[in-house]
Amino acid sequence: MPSYAYFQKKIVPLAEARINVMTHALHYGTAIFEGIRGNWNSRQEQIFIFRLREHYERLTDGCKLLKISLPHSVDELCRITIDVVEKCGFKEDIYIRPLAYKSSEALGVRLHDLEDDFTVFAIPWGRYLDMDSARCSVSSWRRPDDNVIPPQAKMAGIYINSALTKTEAMQNGYDEGIMLSPDGHVSEGRGENIFLVEDGRLITPAIYNNILMGITRDTVITLAKNELDLETVERSIVRSELYTADECFLTGTAAHITPVSEIDNRKIGDSGIGPATAKLQKLYFDVIKGNNARYLDWCTPVYKK
C-alpha cells in the first residue's frame, strides 16, 4: 500500500516528496520534527491518532526557538495530518512524521533570512524497541544543556546526540543507552523518558534535567494519578538510584512503555516486568487504541463512518 506525504502544499505519493541537496536543513539540522502514532483498532476499523494536538503544540514551540515560521496553525496541521493518513488508507498501526524545516537552497550557518516549509508523511510501523524489556547502559554521551542546544525541542540537529548514544549502547551489547545531564544526573534515553518505581511512587527526571518533555511521559503521569492513585515525583535522580530501583521503564511515542530489565549489568527488581509497570502498560495500550472511554479526547479518529 503506497504512503502519501503533504509536501509543498499538496498531498503527493511519498516517492515524489523530494528536496534539493542544497536544502539548508540537510546541512545544518535546522528542522523541528515530531513522531506521532496512529493506532489501529480492528474492532472499530479505525485509526486513532494519539494526542495529535499536543504534538503540534510542541512542534510550534520548537519552531519559535528555531525561528521557523510555520505556514499553518495547529488546527490546520491537525487537519492536514488527518487528510494524509486518510489518503494512505492503512489498516494497521502507523507512525506519522511531521517536519518543519529551513527549506532555502542556501548555505551559511544561521537561522534568519531563510525560507521555511512543512511536510508530513505516514508509514506503517509496529514495534520500535523490538523487545519485551530492555537491557540498558549509562551512556558515555551526555544530554546537552539548554544553553548548548535546547533539549526541549525536537530539533533535527540534536539527534546526533541520541544517535551517538544508541550506537554506543548497541555496539557494546545493550539495547538502549541512558544519558546523564551535564551535571551528572539521570536525564533520559536516546528517544525515551525514564521512570523509576521506588517505595510505591513513580520518580522521573524534571524539566531542569535536560529532558524532552515527552507526551507519553505526561500520559503515564496522568494515568498513574487518575487510575492507580500513584503519585509521580519529578526531581533530579542520581546515577546509583538507577541500580537500586524497584522497577524502571522507558516511555516514548515509538517505545510505548518498555520495561527495563537490567542497567549496567545489574538486574532491576526481579528483572521481569514489575507490577506497577505492568498495570500502567495495560492501561496505556487500552487508552491509545481508543478503548478507554475516559480518554477518548486524546484519540483523533481518521476514517469517516
212 binds ligand PMP (CB under 6 A): yes
**Closest by CA position to 152, among listed 195, 71, 103, 206:** 206
193 binds ligand PMP (CB under 6 A): yes
Question: Are residues 122 and 88 in contact, defined by beta-carbon separation less than 8 angstroms?
Answer: yes
96's grid cell: 506519522
- Reported residue count of the chain is 305
Query: How far is 150 from 144, CA to CA, in rounded Å?
Result: 7
What minimum distance in Å lies between the beta carbon of 294 and ligand PMP? 20
155: DSSP letter = B
DSSP of 29-93: --EEE--EEEEEETTTTEEEEETHHHHHHHHHHHHHHTT---SS-HHHHHHHHHHHHHHHT--S-
Site string for ligand PMP, 30-69 (x = CB under 6 A): -----x----------------------------------
The residue among 252 and 290 lying less far from ligand PMP, judged by its C-beta, is 252
Q: Of these residues, 154, 267, 282, 304, which one is catalytic? A: 154
Q: Which residues, 112 to 171, sit near ligand PMP by CB under 6 A?
A: 162
176 binds ligand PMP (CB under 6 A): no
256 binds ligand PMP (CB under 6 A): no
**With CB under 6 A as the contact rule, which of the stretches 20-28, 103-111, 245-253, 257-265 interacts with ligand PMP?**
245-253
**With CB under 6 A as the contact rule, which of the stretches 39-47, 163-171, 221-229, 246-254 interacts with ligand PMP?**
246-254
Is residue 154 annotated as a catalytic residue, yes or no? yes
Query: How far is 49 from 71, CA to CA, in rounded Å?
Result: 22
Catalytic residues, which ones? Answer: 154
Q: Which residues bind ligand PMP (CB under 6 A)?
A: 35, 162, 188, 191-193, 212, 214-217, 251-253
